Amino acid sequence: MRRLIKIQAPISTDQLTLYKSLKDQNIEVYQLHTNENHISFSIQAKDLKAFRKVRKKLKLSIKLEDELKESTISIYSASVIGVIFFLVIPVIFAQFIWTIHIDSDSPESNILLTEQLKEMGIKERMIASKLPAEQEIRQKILLKHKEYSWVHFSKSGANFTVSPMLAPPQTERVLEDAPAVNLVAKRSGVITDFSLLKGVRAVEKNIAVKKGDVLVNGFVTQGNKRIITSAEGKVYASYWIELSFELPTQVAVINPNAKELIIQKKVDDKQIFWKEIQLPAFIQKYVQAGYVQKNHQITYSLTEESIEHLIRPLLFQKIIKELPTGTQLLEDKVLQVSIQDDKVKGKILLLINENIAIPHVIPQGDGA
């Protein structure tokens, strides 16, 4: 498309000389008009430099106007540059992670997780495309922090949020005067870590073991003699399990999304507050105050496309409750999903990490 410049000159201009000069400079003329006061015509923008010579030679008093300005923005104008910056700068900024938030109630956990993320090269003002895969980050965090059962990640714009979920506390059974034991595998898996109080390792990390294999010996060998000491502790291993799931297509989720301040007269049936406000002693006899939690129920319609945002979190919450205490979900793979009879059905493959060590009494005669 030719970009034209409209030129307006007084009617008193020597038109014959003007047109002859334009022809000598090989300047093409478009849309020639005359009226009582002016003559106007257009030339191509590429001829503007040559036209300036004609103007200087004839000492013309003229007015220039870019005809594109009436309908579109010239690619040479400052407006386009402004628009480009307006559109491009947010896109450029969105390519970076500007804020990393650890969603944990423990300040110590926040510091430890922040340092571990830095060791993995995850820090503020990093390029978002260099962010490692979620599975890789999750595995490294869970293998180092046994107190967590799952880690959820969310990225909103330039913000990256890490939300660890605490594993349910394990209850230890105290055995008094118990017989000496080895620790054996309650199931097959690949050894990832040891947390021993007593005993000698019978296997090393990254070794595959089978159900019943001895993991930790409850004795110490000195020359030809073995001294029974018993074994105590945990041995963690990873293994894959395949689970089938079935969920209704309509799922109601209750979210505590607001807190409301209540101030009321003191009554016999004391209001149960989420967080009570301590009032001065002279007022407490008459008034009570505190915050109550307001729950909001949201109903979701599940589809095959909603696996990532809806089905997965629901499954993980359900699976964590059903698996043994201290279990960690390192990785997941959805094998299949289908909708049948108003239910979402499918199979999911999970990489589990848990303590597979169980005590096994050392048979009599094994020690000397």
3-state SS track over the chain: CCCEEEEEEECCCCHHHHHHHHHHCCCCCEEEEECCCEEEEEEEHHHHHHHHHHHHHHCCCCEEEEHHHHCCCCCCCHHHHHHHHHHHHHHHHCCEECEEEECCCCHHHHHHHHHHHHHCCCCCCEEHHHCCCHHHHHHHHHHHCCCEEEEEEEEECCEEEEEEEECCCCCCCCCCCCCCEEEEECCCEEEEEEEEEECEECCCCCCEECCCCEEEECEEEECCEEEECCCEEEEEEEEEEEEEEEEECEEEEEEEEEEEEEEEECCCCCCCCCEECCCCHHHHCCEEEEEEEEEEEEEEECCHHHHHHHHHHHHHHHHHHHCCCCCEEEEEEEEEEEEECCEEEEEEEEEEEEECEEEEECCCCCCC
Contact 317, 202 (CB under 8 A): no
pLDDT of 46: 83
Average pLDDT, integer, range 297-322: 70
Check whether 354 has a pLDDT greater than 70: yes
**Angle subtended by helix axes 15-24 and 48-58, to nearest 10:** 140
Better-predicted residue by pLDDT, 271 or 153: 153
Contact 331, 298 (CB under 8 A): no
Report the range out of 78-82, 245-249, 350-354 with the highest average pLDDT: 350-354
**C-alpha pair distances (Å), 356 with each of 209, 211, 263:** 10, 9, 52
Better-predicted residue by pLDDT, 8 or 269: 8
pLDDT of 331: 82
Check whether 268 has a pLDDT greater than 70: no
Better-predicted residue by pLDDT, 92 or 51: 51
- Which CATH number applies to 4-75? 3.30.70.260
Amino acid at 171: T
List, for residues 168-218, the tens digit of each pLDDT value.
655 555 445 678 899 999 999 999 999 898 889 999 999 999 999 999 998
List, for residues 23-46, the tens digit of each pLDDT value.
888 888 888 888 878 888 888 888
Label residue 263 by pLDDT band (50, 70, 90): confident
Report the range out of 48-57, 107-116, 152-161, 203-212 with the highest average pLDDT: 203-212
The per-residue pLDDT of the chain, averaged, comes to 78
Residues found in the chain: 368
Average pLDDT, integer, range 348-355: 87
Percentage of the chain lying above the pLDDT 90 cut: 10
The count of other CB atoms within 10 Å of the CB of residue 113 is: 22
Q: Which residue ranges does the chain devote to CATH 3.10.20?
A: 96-166
pLDDT of 239: 92
Contact 352, 328 (CB under 8 A): yes
Better-predicted residue by pLDDT, 128 or 324: 128
Label residue 302 by pLDDT band (50, 70, 90): confident
pLDDT of 191: 94
pLDDT of 36: 79
Contact 37, 11 (CB under 8 A): yes
Q: Which residue ranges does the chain devote to CATH 3.30.70.260?
A: 4-75
Give CA–CA dist 284/350, Å, rounded. 54
Better-predicted residue by pLDDT, 308 or 193: 193
Residue linked to tokens 């399990």: 241
**pTM exceeds 0.75 for this model:** no
Instruction: For 96-166, give the CATH class.
Output: alpha beta
Better-predicted residue by pLDDT, 91 or 20: 20
Label residue 358 by pLDDT band (50, 70, 90): very high
Report the range out of 100-114, 193-207, 264-278 with the highest average pLDDT: 193-207
Check whether 69 has a pLDDT greater than 80: no
Contact 242, 348 (CB under 8 A): yes
Better-predicted residue by pLDDT, 55 or 185: 185
Label residue 68 by pLDDT band (50, 70, 90): low
Average pLDDT, integer, range 107-136: 84
Better-predicted residue by pLDDT, 131 or 239: 239
Q: Which region among 21-35, 46-60, 260-274, 319-333 has the lowest average model confidence (pLDDT)?
A: 260-274
pLDDT of 269: 61
Contact 153, 160 (CB under 8 A): yes
Average pLDDT, integer, range 288-294: 72
